[in-house]
Amino acid sequence: MAPMPVQNTDAEQRYEAVFDRHHEQIYAYFKRRVDPTSARDCTAETFLVAWRRIDDVPDDEATLPWLYRVAGNVLRNERRSRRRASRLTDRIGGIGRESAPSPEVIVVRREEDEHLLRALESLRPADREILLLAVWEELPFSEIAVVLGCNAHAASQRLYRATRRLGEQFERESRSPAGRGRSTREKEAT
């Protein structure tokens, strides 16, 4: 007698629906922020959280902001782990490998862009994150609010302020002699 096929549980079906709808967006989120290998691991970690807490994952339009919120926490953990690993590598010596250049390095195309990216880098993480959520993840205020744990009004205010600070910082970068004519890669090498 042929074995009976294993039926998916409701939780599995729901998880699969969430995963199918959003895994590309979540992977892109991480790929914009960390190297590809870490992006894959972080994506898996994010969906592992979703799987473990599938009962808590909200439906429909609320799903993606919830995932981004988890992704933000995963990213923070990943960065902490990376710092720990870096220390370990330093101690062991010779075991670690250089990580791939970050996407920000790759996309440097012209001096002005470089200034803008440098200005973005210099912002506080909270400012940088809301800008990227709005511009690269293309989230509306209502969804940014869910990700950041505030209301839409507060999200719009935060984005406005972050954009203003980006502009101010951009001006500083553009005026700074030290910031001219050096690629991000060169800057990192010094």
Partner 1 sequence: MIDHDDALARLRDLNPVTGIDPEELAGVVATCERRRREAPDAGPIRLVRGRRAWSWRPVVAFAAAFVVVIAALGLLALLGGADVPVVDEPTTTTAVTPTTAPDVLPDDPAPVGGSVNEVWDVAVAPDGNVWMATGGGVVMWDVATGIPRTYTVADGLPTSEVAEILVAPDGNVWAKGRGWIALFDGSWEALQAPQGVDGPAFGVAPDGTLWAVGGENDLYRFDGVDWQVIGGPGLEGVGEWSGSIAIGPDGTLWAATNMSKGLFSFDGTSWTNHADTGLPPGFALTVAVAPDGTVWASAEDDPNAPSSAEPQPGIVRFDGTSWTLFTTADGLYANLAEVTVGSDGTLWAIHDGAVSRFADGAWTAYEGVSGSGLAATVGPDGTLWMASPYGGVVGFDGESTTQFVVAVEEAPSEEPIAGPSPGSWDQILATTTAAPTRPIANCPVGTDVATPGPTGQARPRPGYIGNAAAAFDPTSGRVYYVDVMGETWTFDVCTNTWTAMAASGVVIDLFGGLVFDVDSNRVVALGDTVSIYDPTTNSWAQSRAAGAGGPLDDFWPVGGAVYDPVSGLVIVGHVYDVMAYDVDSDSWTFVGTKPQGLIGHLLGYSPDLDRLIFLSDTAPTVLLDPRSGDVTQLEMSPPQIVGGFGSISFTPGSDTAYAIGEDDEICAFDPVALDWDRCYPRRPGIRHPDAIVHDPINDRILWIGGTWGGWGEPEQRTDAVWSLDLETGEWTEVVVTSP
Q: Contact positions toward partner 1, by CB under 8 A?
A: 9, 11-12, 15, 19, 23-24, 27-28, 31-32, 36, 39-41, 43-45, 47-48, 51-56, 69-70, 73, 88, 91-93, 95, 103-104, 106-107, 109, 112-113, 116-117, 120, 126, 131, 134-136, 149-151, 153-154, 157-158, 160-161, 163-164, 166-168, 170-171
Identity of residue 141: F
Q: Name the minimum Å distance from CB 76 to partner 1.
A: 9
Q: Name the minimum Å distance from CB 118 to partner 1.
A: 11
> Is 122 buried (19+), middle (13-18) or exposed (0-12) by CB count in 10 A?
middle
Q: Name the minimum Å distance from CB 125 to partner 1.
A: 12
Asked if 104 contacts 116 with a C-beta cutoff of 8 angstroms, the reply is no
> Is 132 buried (19+), middle (13-18) or exposed (0-12) by CB count in 10 A?
middle
Residue 188 makes CB contacts below 8 A (sequence gap 6+) with 105
Q: Name the minimum Å distance from CB 190 to partner 1.
A: 23
